[in-house]
Amino acid sequence: QIDYTGTEPSSPCNKCLNVSWDSTPPCTCTINFTLEHSFESNVFMYYGLSNFYQNHRRYVKSRDDSQLNGDNSSLLNPSKECEPYRTNEDKPIAPCGAIANSMFNDTLELYRIENNTRTPITLIKKGIAWWTDKNVKFRNPTGDGNNLTALFQGTTKPVNWPKPVYMLDSEPDNNGFINEDFIVWMRTAALPTFRKLYRLIERKNNLQPTLQAGKYSLDIAYNYPVHSFDGRKRMILSTISWMGGKNPFLGIAYITVGSICFFLGVVLLIIHHRYGNRNTSADIPN
């Protein structure tokens, strides 16, 4: 994990701590780090946020699923659940709502440093969203042709976005409402400290690890403000084994619940042994 919030004065990202949504140009910083051990299989790159309550009731409801599913009438007349991010300057917002308006928009680039030379690591931006989200729940508006600019005509971008939804990516199958970074963000987290999949790093050679042990650098376009609510940001590199990914939450939860059940079982056994009905007589009282 690499924390790049920048609250420490010695951090390279400290200069970006008070960045705003519309900072032009974006603040950039670079953090160097060392991998002590190689990553042998495919690597998953996440961004993590802390003290960010995506589980707040009003925040979770602030979206229009019909609009996100490509319904043309909802595109121009979003649900009132999106207030106060339903319209802007008398134009409907696409996508509307507080979830979309607060979309994570930092840009992360990874480099390997060898002999004072920086070699970029290829980061794959497709395949990070759930298949059902990408192909069922999220669809672009329909109409004549595939020109997203024309299909989203009459709408405006979310207040905090630097560009409209039809300019999220240059590739047509990853643009608009079906942009995978957007889809991943729209699946809200259950806890205030969470991580979301950002990029994939695929293993290219079975004879060499995906990420060799050594020196690396992380280039950050710091756009996402978290200092105002005492939040923190981090980049996480993870891999999986035959048992799945490393996630301590389930293990801790199982051990905690199991320990409580065992303790209650012992307590109830003692209570039953000491205070239970000990009358073993078979006589039936009159």
Instruction: Kindly tell me the burial class for residue 136, based on how many C-beta atoms sit within 10 Å of its own C-beta (0-12, 13-18, 19 or more).
Output: exposed
Tens of pLDDT along 141-187?
988 767 899 999 999 999 999 999 999 999 999 999 999 999 999 99
Q: How many CB atoms lie within 10 A of CB 15?
A: 13
**CA pair distance 225, 231, nearest whole angstrom:** 9
Domain ranges of the chain: 2-240
CB 201 within 8 A of CB 42: yes
- Using the predicted structure, report yes or no on whether residue 44 has a pLDDT greater than 90: yes
Q: What does the mean pLDDT of the chain come to? A: 89
Average pLDDT value for residue range 188-196: 93
Whole-model pTM? 0.83
Share above pLDDT 90 across residues of the chain, in percent, rounded to a whole number = 74
- Using the predicted structure, report yes or no on whether residue 245 has a pLDDT greater than 60: no
Return the closest-CA partner of residue 226 out of 32, 48, 24: 48
**CA pair distance 118, 120, nearest whole angstrom:** 6
